[in-house]
Amino acid sequence: MSAESDDIASAVARIAPREKAEILAQALPYIRRFHGKTIVVKYGGNAMTDPALQQDFAEDVVLLKLVGMNPVVVHGGGPQIEEALAKIGKKGTFIQGMRVTDDETMEVVEWVLAGQVQQDIVGLINVAGGKAVGLTGRDGGLIRARKMKMLDLKDPTKEHDVGMVGEIESIDPSVVRALQEDQFIPVISPLGFGANNENYNINADIVAGKLAEVLKAEKLVMLTNIPGVLDKAGQLLTNLSAREIDDLFADGTISGGMLPKISSALEAARNGVHSVHVIDGRVPHVLLLEVLTDQAYGTMIRSH
């Protein structure tokens, strides 16, 4: 047994038997309710870069699969892409929360997302006892995309060219469903392909949201680097309706990198995903806590 498993065993041993029973009893109704249901998880932020949190995440995903749920992981890779670009002397630029992607940047994005990051996550889940399979938008014709036309938020007559950034034309989930039925855990890189076989970099939040809609997911859970959606005073907003979110967009409370995230979350909620949660990926085992307990760990987004 490794020192790490000894630590886990002794931490578990320190929980009194009555508390253990209470924790398991609290999880039971959620296990029953979500059995056989798809849960799409957008994996990003600190949870992806901190080794202890990486392991927690992998264990959480495996446990959800073992109790009969169908987790699907969509990952980002912002910090890793920045690091790789820095090595070749490039600095990433963003417009309205989207990475500007020229040809050279696209090569780096593909190598980092479909190579390094995806394979790290697949490895972590497999070591934790799951059976993960990495996919990109090309596999099984999963994500068809076209070049994104990005209109300026303040002046809609003005258009920004963000390079090889794609918007989703269609998602064919048959490859994901086939893997789920064979007890695999799909791990998806947010890369799509166009009509002329060109590659597109797609925002991972947008892919997670759209995939949750197409798979008719029970839940969409987005891990972030903040406690959830915050108001202007920095207080956590635990429950938001579509109208309240529109107000937060309008007054600039939600801006930058949170724009695509919350827009995707809202769209998924409006298009049939039962519950959408933006949660704090810096909390150990936050995915399990969100899915299997009645404690709120972030912001829940409702369609009305």
**Nearest-CA neighbor of 205 among 187, 222, 191, 230?**
222
Sign of the CA dihedral with 94 first, then 151, 154, and 255 last:
negative
Token pair listed for 111: 């190598």
Task: Tell me how many helices (H) and strands (E) the chain has.
Answer: 12, 16
Distance CA(209)–CA(71), nearest Å, equals: 14
276 with 300: CB under 8 angstroms? yes
Distance CA(100)–CA(160), nearest Å, equals: 10
46 labelled as ligand-binding? no
Contacts of 81 (CB under 8 A, 6+ apart): 92, 99, 108, 109, 112, 113
203 labelled as ligand-binding? no
* Residue found under tokens 């999963």: 142
Sign of the CA dihedral with 150 first, then 214, 64, and 61 last:
negative
61 with 125: CB under 8 angstroms? yes
Token pair listed for 125: 């889940």
Token pair listed for 92: 């990433």
137 labelled as ligand-binding? no
One-letter-per-residue 3-state SS of 227-271: CCCECCCCCECCEECHHHHHHHHHCCCCCCCHHHHHHHHHHHHHC
89 labelled as ligand-binding? no
Binding-site residues for substrate: 77-78, 99, 201
Binding-site residues: 77-78, 99, 201
